[in-house]
Amino acid sequence: MTDMDKASVIASHRQELRRGTVVVACLVVLQQPGYGYALLETLARAGFDVEANTLYPLLRRLESQGLLESDWNTDDARPRKFYRTTPEGMQVADTLRREWVDLSARLDDLRKES
């Protein structure tokens, strides 16, 4: 395997591992209401590489699942759709975060055993 192959294998596993974390990150960040582009920036600064064309549809899906709610803010020159995490969304975020911590602990256990 060349170095490039290795790098692409690692990249694909990493992407697989990180896939679900974007949802948790969104639900956590949006406890404070926010709009699409601002959220994209916040996530990028926090080290969550998510594409705009993934994030925007994801926000609508989470809204349709009742984990986010939205309001149009027309105070600014540019009207923006602000999302906010619902109480149900907070519960889901807590469950998923506990799962994440749990998985991390179990991985540590496995490493110690071997």
Kindly list the residues in this chain that would bind other proteins in the complex (CB under 8 A). 35-38, 40-41, 51-54, 56-57, 60-61, 72, 78-81
Q: Using an 8 Å Cβ cutoff, are 27 and 62 in contact?
A: yes
Which one, 78 or 112, has the nearer CB to other proteins? 78
| Encoded tokens for 73 | 């803010």
Which one, 61 or 106, has the nearer CB to other proteins? 61
**Least gap, CB of 112 to other proteins (angstroms):** 35
**Least gap, CB of 38 to other proteins (angstroms):** 8
**Least gap, CB of 105 to other proteins (angstroms):** 32
| Encoded tokens for 20 | 């679900």
Which one, 74 or 114, has the nearer CB to other proteins? 74
Angle at which helices 36-45 and 21-29 cross, to 10° = 110
Angle at which helices 87-113 and 21-29 cross, to 10° = 140
**Least gap, CB of 5 to other proteins (angstroms):** 23
Backbone angles phi, psi at 84, to 5 degrees: -145, 140
